[in-house]
Amino acid sequence: MAGVELRLTEVEPPSPDPPRTIYTDLVNLPDPIYLGVEVRIFNYDDVALYMRVDGYATGWTFTSNDFGSVASGGNIYRNIDNFGTRAKPAAPAEEDITIRLRAYTDAGYTNLKWTYERVVHVVYIKSDDGSWTQDVLNNFDDGTVQGWAWVNESYVSGSTLAVAVDYVLSNPYSLKLDETSDGGAGTNPRRARLYKSFTTPNRNNVFAIIDIRTSRTDARLKNLRVQTDGTILMYIGRAHDTVTTDYRAYGRWWRIVIPLPKNTTLELRFVDEWWIDLGLRHVYIWLDDFKIISKD
């Protein structure tokens, strides 16, 4: 057993960390494209170790990230924004990238003791290549919320859901959820969900393409979950706590591409969890150009 471990999901030891596949749609992505990752690092050694994370793959450039000392038996969580970049592929493709943890016994990162690597499979689809059917498009450009709704799950009130013009991907509108909460019951998580029901097509390959943006005012963003009813499809961030740290990136658009079951009626949910210590705070979610696509 290695003296360190690198995990890429919210699954806790001793359960094995499941394989990780990242899907994305090439349509309207920037060139070059960027990859962000969230990592959890465990030190199982008898001594404190200094942790460094980088990656390697053909055609990619990765940053090297030094996270300092982790005590024996300890673990840390880090969100590495813009971790890797590569030229945008011109056509659908698949590839593997390797994320590497190296653990050193000294603060100068010269005495290497452990290396631990995780392979991530990346699948690039191209939804406009003629092979896909666009079954759903919600771009909100008719000035309505197009069937989306929101509900408070924990200590969120006074929120609004409407079309917006401040951040859009296709003019003139996006969808914007303004989640509002005051400082009451300050140790509790604030949590709301944006949701809509769909019936997926009866084809062998079905994907949701989600272009989403988050922001905040003096709150701390803990996690964002994409769910079908109660089943978590993607978890970004980590469990709620009252540390004054954001556990997920914000202030930019993300693209999330997720396989969906075929021929199924489901409620697709974006569950947003955050924390405040006092005062009135806002957390925002924008959604634009949401799609469901399919093919056999």
Segment 9-13 long-range contacts (CB within 8 Å, at least 24 positions apart): 9/235, 10/235, 10/238, 10/239, 13/42
pLDDT at 185: 57
**Residue range 80-116, pLDDT digits in tens:** 989 999 999 999 999 999 999 999 999 999 999 999 9
Is the entire prediction scored with pTM above 0.95?
Answer: no
Average pLDDT over every residue of 258-283? 91
What the chain holds in terms of domains, given with CATH numbers, is 4-125 (2.60.40.10), 133-295 (2.60.120.260)
Query: What is the spatial distance between Cα 39 and Cα 76, in angstroms, rounded to a whole number?
Result: 8
Find the range with the poorest average confidence among 18-27, 91-100, 150-159. 150-159
